[in-house]
């Protein structure tokens, strides 16, 4: 009898503890993998050629709902990328606490503005927007209208709960160096979106700004974006404008893209970007591209892109201009 009472008491105790603790859901595991065949043509002889790359990502997600109604989750993203650059690393690792107050994100993740900015490249499955000469690419000229400043370094972010069609967020990356050392590079990023239905035409306006501290006496680095997306049936269109200001840099860029989703699993897109740096006379860049994306089967997609570009170095520090084209064929799978 005494043994029975002890066992019964233990069961009741365990049951009581279990009732007071919210058990984690999952984990959930998602993965993507793609193989790319790329052909580059350029006026820079060393940039010409054909090559292959592959990129994969595995995302582990854990979620736990507390008795008080908070949702606590953790995400870790493992990425690999071989080709022009090789990386094998944890790309993002962050904790999220969400509830009626909104969402707090802690850890290695994108700047807040990246969640709200709208770029013409958002309608393209496989963005190119590159110069064939990798040494020039994005070093002195913007190749998209997207946020030019963004990283996955450790930061804290807060996102407001959705209010009607309005959402917004802010993040801060604190690098910890004292201002007296003249090297503090803290980064503050803000963004917002507003969605509205204009008589059956869904329209979304997005904007973002990211500022990075710089050494005293140098120009603060600032990246901005504003974009508008409209959807009419199977047709989507985006126009966007981006800016980037830094020491010896004052860039502006405009992007436009249109995509059409057909009923047979084929999506077609065309896009165009123009960019200039007013601090360097006559430094300009433009590209024009097209893409065909075909859903072979659930989770398996084929994409082909072709893009022509023209870069004029003007009075920048670059030693040569560059123009040519890039063609890319991609097979990608999602699990």
Residue 130 CA to residue 91 CA, distance in Å, equals 22
| pLDDT by residue, tens only, the chain of 335 residues | 333 333 333 333 333 333 333 445 568 999 999 999 999 888 877 778 898 889 899 999 999 999 999 999 999 998 887 654 555 678 899 999 999 999 999 999 999 999 999 999 999 998 776 665 555 545 678 888 999 888 888 999 999 999 999 999 999 998 765 555 555 678 999 999 999 999 999 999 999 999 988 766 677 899 999 999 999 999 999 999 999 998 888 999 999 999 999 999 999 999 999 999 998 888 899 999 999 999 999 999 999 999 999 988 887 766 678 888 999 999 999 99
Q: Which two tokens stand for residue 183?
A: 């090297």
Structure tokens at 158: 């807060």
- For tokens 């993740």, the residue is 109
- SS3 of 209-266: EEEECCCCCCCCEEEEEEEEEEEECCEEEEEEEEEEEECCEEEEEEEEEEEEECCCCE
Contacts 24+ apart (CB under 8 A), 151-154: 151/110, 151/111, 151/187, 152/91, 152/92, 152/108, 152/109, 152/110, 153/108, 154/107, 154/108
Rounded CA-CA distance 18/237 in Å is: 51
Burial class (CB in 10 A: 0-12, 13-18, 19+), 127: buried
Among 115, 151, 118, 110, CA closest to 225? 118
Distance CA 7, CA 214 (A): 66
Domains of the chain, first to last = 27-334 (2.40.160.10)
Q: What is the pLDDT of residue 132?
A: 56
Q: How far is 239 from 6, CA to CA, in rounded Å?
A: 71
The residues, any chain, with a CB within 8 Å of residue 217's CB and separated by 6 or more, are none
């Amino acid at each position: 009898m005494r043994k029975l009472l002890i066992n019964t008491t233990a069961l009741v105790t365990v049951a009581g503890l279990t009732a007071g603790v919210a058990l984690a859901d999952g984990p959930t595991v998602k993965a993507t993998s793609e193989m790319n065949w790329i052909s580059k043509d350029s006026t820079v002889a060393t940039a010409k050629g054909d090559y292959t790359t592959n990129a994969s990502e595995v995302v582990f997600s854990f979620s736990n709902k507390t008795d008080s109604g908070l949702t606590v989750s953790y995400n870790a993203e493992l990425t690999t990328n071989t080709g022009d650059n090789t990386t094998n690393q944890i790309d993002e690792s962050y904790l999220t606490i969400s509830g009626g107050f909104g969402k707090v994100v802690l850890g290695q993740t994108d700047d807040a503005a990246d969640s709200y900015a709208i770029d013409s490249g958002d309608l393209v499955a496989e963005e190119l927007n590159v110069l064939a000469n990798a040494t020039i690419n994005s070093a002195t000229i913007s190749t998209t209208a997207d946020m030019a400043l963004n990283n996955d370094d450790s930061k804290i972010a807060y996102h407001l709960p959705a209010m009607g069609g309005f959402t917004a967020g802010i993040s801060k990356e604190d690098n910890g160096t004292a201002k007296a050392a003249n090297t503090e590079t803290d980064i503050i990023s803000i963004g917002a979106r507003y969605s509205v239905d204009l008589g059956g035409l869904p329209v979304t306006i997005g904007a973002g700004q990211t500022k990075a501290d710089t050494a005293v006496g140098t120009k603060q680095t600032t990246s901005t974006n504003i974009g508008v997306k409209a959807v009419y049936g199977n047709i989507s269109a985006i126009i966007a404008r981006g800016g980037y200001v830094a020491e010896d840099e004052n860039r502006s860029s405009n992007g436009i893209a249109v995509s059409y989703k057909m009923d047979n699993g084929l999506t077609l897109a065309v896009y165009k970007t123009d960019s200039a740096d007013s601090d360097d006379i006559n430094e300009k860049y433009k590209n024009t591209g097209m893409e065909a994306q075909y859903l072979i089967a659930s989770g398996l997609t084929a994409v082909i892109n072709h893009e022509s570009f023209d870069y004029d170095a003007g009075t920048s520090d670059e030693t040569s201009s560059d123009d040519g084209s890039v063609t890319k064929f991609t097979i990608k799978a999602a699990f």
